[in-house]
Homo-oligomer: A and B are copies of this chain.
């Protein structure tokens, strides 16, 4: 869309910085009583009353975290919000506000930023969060996005990474590996496009996994689902870097070990077929792929009957004493130590 030279575009230098922010945020409405003052002053003012405030922040950099050649800007706006809300949900909290800052080079016209903000607006509407601040500036190269998400929670409901006990069950929401498989499809199509720009790819067999990559949904619903089941997880984390990395975080903070069962890892059929097509090991993809934004949590064994057979949740393992270490129990019943193979932007 940015490359379409036939449309009239508006240079960012034609608006002042404050006019730009006003223009981009004019359609955002505030939905939370806790938002006393949103955009338009030195800072936003929020009222959490007797609840605790929960804060998380993430940076997304073009060329590192996203590729605009296949990531539409509206999707990028949406995903940038999801990535952060996911952290709030991983505390078993309710996301209430966000701030969104972007820096872009001069190659982006105003219409591109409008696209980005339309994705942010859609996320705000669906996930019921208020945009309360941000910063808009120029970069010397490419685009970058910084989002801070704010949430609220009753103190007793907050779930940390550190509460898992030996014998607790390890549970994951949804299914894993889809986002990474979607990325492989998009990367392949990009290479095809480079050779033949007129090629029209048929992505329909890959709809699910491509959506997992381009338009992930944070698990806002899990808190409510667990409350209905009368389950309070003992520890929780969101899966942004891959299952193995997140298990290691839970084990590290909770000072426990873990046995993860390979045959329990939930995989969508599209993920299995994509792994066959791309000659990837589906377990490795689930362990190290990342960007699934599902929630990984532990529950007391006594809660097992409440969760058994629930289509939203899969028990994938159990926690052990710290000394037993962190292992994958393979389909052939081999015990393989789990090491961090999560995403590292510096390597």
Contacts and interface: CB of A to CB of B under 8 A. Distances in A.
A47 B41 contact: no
Interface stretch (A68-76, A145-153, A272-280, A315-323): A145-153
A91 interface: yes
B133 A57 contact: yes
A253 interface: yes
Contacts of A346: 12-13, 15, 17, 20, 106, 137-138
Contacts of A90: 42-43
Contacts of A97: 55
Contacts of A12: 346
Interface string A244-287: 00000100010000000000000000000000000000000000
Contact of A161 (B41, B134, B140): B41
A324 interface: no
Contact of A142 (B42, B91, B141, B344): B141
B53 A45 contact: yes
A49 to B, nearest CB: 8
B101 A57 contact: yes
A36 B45 CA distance: 20
Contact of A144 (B40, B144, B345): B144
Contact of A91 (B16, B45, B155): B45
Interface stretch (A58-66, A117-125, A195-203): A58-66
Interface in A122-180: 132-135, 137-142, 144, 146, 148-151, 153, 155, 158, 160-162
Contacts of A155: 36, 47
A140 B141 contact: yes
17 contacts: A13-B347, A20-B346, A41-B91, A42-B161, A43-B91, A45-B153, A46-B53, A53-B53, A56-B133, A57-B134, A59-B146, A61-B139, A62-B140, A64-B138, A137-B345, A140-B141, A144-B144
